[in-house]
Amino acid sequence: MIYHFRFVSALVIHVRRFEKMRFLFCLSLTLFSSSFFCLYAQSLRLNPEAIHQITNFEQLGPHFNQEMIQQLDSLPVGIDEEFQILKDDSGIYLFAGCRMELYRWEENSWKNLYQFQNVGYTCKSRLIIKEGNPFLLGGYGFWNSHTDLIEFDPRLGSWSLASVKAQPANYNSEYLGITEKSAFLLLGFHNNPREDVHQLPENQGYILDFESMAWKHLGFDFEMSLVNPNAAYYIFQDGTLDSQDFLAFNAFESASQNKGLLIFDKNELNFRFFPQELDYNPLEYSPYFMVDGNQVYLQDQKNFAISWNLEDMYAKAKMVGKAAILPMSVTEVNRIKQDYVIISLVSISLIGLVLFPVFKKRIASPTLKRTDERQGKDHIQNENYSKAYSPQESPNLLEILDQNKGKMFTVEELDELFDIHQIPNPENKRVKRSRLIKEINTQAEEKRGYKMINRTRSPEDKRCLLYEIK
């Protein structure tokens, strides 16, 4: 321990003045927590096919220079993938999507640290630095999605699978945000053709706790969707921005019909919407995205260098919802609710079977007597009302309907016109109404060549039926 503190003291002396406070902060956290890691890195994402469109390399300095970027032309990368570069105190690392190669900037060139020839497992994976070690999280490979966390071993020049608990199956999402303690995956899809799972959308999300190395479910108290255009917030375009405190992505707000950025605060777990009406998608158009803290550097549709401060945009945005860490998924909660309802119904049925014989003798005689009396009265009333009109009297109804041509009637108004509204039994009333309409239309077709009563939907409320007299 004595040698350890001497070594630390020597390092502090040589740290540059503007870095000293950050270094001491990370150092103190490291001494008191073995699982904590200090995530202070600048990141750069580049579209391999659009590197030639970069017009201002000065905006990328002092973290990434022009020589670093120009040398990317000679490196292999997967189709529809991107270069990811991370810089922190441990060095500058490069990952090319869909490849297993991990590069480090040494002596003015990219040095490949991976010693094997495997490819295809890490499409859409995300490079992160944890405790000075490179990791890849999530991705797509060999026909299925995954949320594997793999760690690079510099001694072996290879990747190894990290041990995590409660890992989601066949799942990944491009809406991925990293903090010092957690990784957030929002929405996304489940995909594994071996298990007949084909791009099944996830309506909630997941969070990986780096301290416990366990996945947990993430729920939202508002609606956003990748597949439903009628959702409160429809994620209609690709592209994400992951800064130190915020994760931002394109969204369409149904209520206001506005496009903009949905910004997720990774510390407070709040969502806010920032309207941004642009005639292009900057999250797809820009050839690069450099993030330093909460400042994002990119190019606009005219290839001019611009910058966004996600913290300022979040402060001006309106609150739309909140995320919550759940003990189980929403699907599992609904399944438990369904099971509870079934168990409750079975329990009530069993209790009824047990108690029914006890009360049967007490309630049977008086109840049956009163029921018979009521049914007798209802039967007499239904018989009387069922004779209100007979098929032979349809011509009289035709004359009545002629007086109401062009009018629209509700079900209740038509019953009053037919003088059957006083029939007490709804089913008898419905049958009588149906027979009268059929008889009237039959008579009208024979004599006039067309039906007089047509059923249609109300233009104001499609759930309501109307009857049109012609």
227-247 per-position pLDDT tens digit: 999 999 999 888 999 999 999
What is the C-alpha separation between 416 and 352, in angstroms, rounded? Answer: 42
Q: Are residues 84 and 151 in the same domain?
A: yes
What is the C-alpha separation between 200 and 202, in angstroms, rounded? Answer: 7
Measured from the Cβ of residue 366, the count of other Cβ atoms closer than 10 Å reads 9
370 in any annotated domain: yes
- Count of residues for the chain? 470
Q: Are residues 113 and 246 in the same domain?
A: yes
> Which of 327, 351, 368 delimits the end of a domain?
327
Q: Are residues 459 and 376 in the same domain?
A: no
Q: Are residues 407 and 370 in the same domain?
A: no
Q: Are residues 461 and 357 in the same domain?
A: no
pLDDT above 80 (res 202) = yes
Bridge partners (DSSP) of residue 240 are 249
6 in any annotated domain: no
pLDDT bracket for residue 431 (50, 70, 90)? confident
Q: What is the CATH number of the domain that holds 89?
A: 2.120.10
259-310 per-position pLDDT tens digit: 999 999 999 999 999 999 888 888 988 999 999 999 999 999 999 999 999 9
Owner of token pair 């990774």: 266
CB 205 within 8 A of CB 173: yes
pLDDT above 80 (res 206) = yes
2-13 per-position pLDDT tens digit: 333 333 333 333
pLDDT above 70 (res 397) = yes
77 in any annotated domain: yes
18 in any annotated domain: no
State the DSSP string of 198-234: EEEEPSSEEEEETTTTEEEEEEESS-EESS-TTSSEE
What is the C-alpha separation between 293 and 41, in angstroms, rounded? Answer: 8
Q: For residue 192, which of 142, 227, 120 has the smallest C-alpha distance? A: 142
Q: Are residues 307 and 347 in the same domain?
A: no
> Which of 312, 327, 342 delimits the end of a domain?
327
Least confident of 18-32, 49-63, 177-191, 261-275: 18-32
Q: Are residues 407 and 446 in the same domain?
A: yes
State the DSSP string of 271-331: EEEEE---SS-HHHH-SEEEEETTEEEEE-TTS-EEEEEHHHHHHHSEEEEEEEEESS-HH
How many structural domains are present in the chain? 3
Least confident of 30-44, 289-303, 390-404, 407-421: 30-44
What is the C-alpha separation between 162 and 417, in angstroms, rounded? Answer: 77
What SS3 state is found at 303?
coil
**Which pLDDT belongs to residue 35?**
41
Owner of token pair 């439903």: 228
Alpha helices in 403-470 (DSSP H): 411-418, 426-447
286 in any annotated domain: yes
Q: Are residues 271 and 393 in the same domain?
A: no
Q: Are residues 191 and 69 in the same domain?
A: yes
The better pLDDT of the pair 427, 244 is held by: 244
Q: Are residues 85 and 209 in the same domain?
A: yes
Owner of token pair 């060549």: 449
Which residues span the domain enclosing 359? 334-387
198 in any annotated domain: yes
5 in any annotated domain: no
Q: Are residues 90 and 146 in the same domain?
A: yes
User: Across the chain, which distance is largest between two alpha carbons, in Å?
Assistant: 112
Q: Are residues 215 and 93 in the same domain?
A: yes
**Which pLDDT belongs to residue 364?**
58
H/E segment holding residue 55 = none
**Which pLDDT belongs to residue 444?**
84
284 in any annotated domain: yes
pLDDT above 50 (res 19) = no
**Which pLDDT belongs to residue 361?**
64
> Which of 387, 402, 421 delimits the end of a domain?
387
Mean per-residue pLDDT over the chain, rounded: 84
For the chain, what is the radius of gyration of the CA atoms? 35
